[in-house]
Amino acid sequence: MKNKTLFYCAAVAITFALIVSLIYRPDAKAENLYLMNNENNASIISVSGEGVIKAPPNRAIVSLAVVTEAADVKKAQQENSRLANAVMKAIKALDIDEKDIKTQGYIVTPLYNYEKKEHPPTISGYRVENEVSITLKDMEKVGALIDAGIDAGANRVNNISFYLEDEKLQEQVLREAIKDARKKAQIMADELGKRIIGVKKVTGGWSNIGPVPVRYAMKAEMSVGGGALYDTPINPGETEVRASVHIEFEISK
């Protein structure tokens, strides 16, 4: 009787090892596929799915800044205010909604003189930076916005970023992720001789992965309010909408 029990245990261990070897292969790509029993002793297949759709972005965010320097902090602020107001006027002239224009930062920084090494540094002046962020819903206006901002007095373009705002596309990519998870689960169930009989748990969502933000370097010789040198061409490329889901499928015993 004891030998029969040992033989039975060994057979169960070997069978379990074979099943695990079918489900998990060290040389295979990780797909996040699992077979388990839940607390109700029902078999569960746990699967991750992914969907990706590429499309041209339909939104842009441009950051413009006015930077001024003067020996007196009030003069630096006054000049900055004058130029910043001119930039705002130029932006609004492009029929951009005021709610899409936001002050991103306002910084006043002392400038130090380090020429005399034997003495502590002294304040030689002040720098004032006023940065504004503009969200564009018309991609054709990106280049025109940069040119208008520079012509009005902006002397720094920090970055240009693009993204996609499309609810239907987000729904579509989420459906693709669910189909991907279902396909993987069906393959596992078929190979194990089981049927998918239900869904125990679903988690997931989507995200926009836009192109790398464009770094816009201005020519050093361009004077403040000196006018744009040329029409600025901007190519936004494509953005990715990604969705991922994690689904636990119940399978027949």
The domains located in the chain, with CATH, are 2-54+167-207+245-251 (no CATH), 59-165+209-242 (3.30.70.2970)
Beta strands in 31-174 (DSSP E): 34-37, 43-55, 59-70, 101-113, 122-136, 156-163
Q: What is the Cα gyration radius of the chain? A: 30
What is residue 226's predicted lDDT score, i.e. its pLDDT? Answer: 45
Return the sign of the alpha-carbon dihedral for residues 74, 76, 79, 82: negative
Phi, psi at 241, each rounded to 5°: -110, 120
pLDDT of residue 227: 46
Record the pTM. Answer: 0.66
The pLDDT of residue 233: 75
- Provide the residue-wise pLDDT of the chain in tens; the chain has 253 residues: 444 444 344 443 433 333 333 333 333 333 454 445 555 566 899 999 999 999 999 999 999 999 999 999 999 999 999 999 999 999 999 999 999 999 999 999 999 988 877 778 889 999 999 999 999 999 999 999 999 999 999 999 998 999 888 999 999 999 999 999 999 999 999 999 999 999 999 999 878 766 555 555 554 334 444 444 456 777 778 888 899 999 999 998 7
Compute the residue count for the chain.
Answer: 253
Distance of CA 203 to the CA centre of its chain: 20
pLDDT of residue 39: 54
Per-residue confidence (pLDDT) for residue 26, from 0 to 100: 35
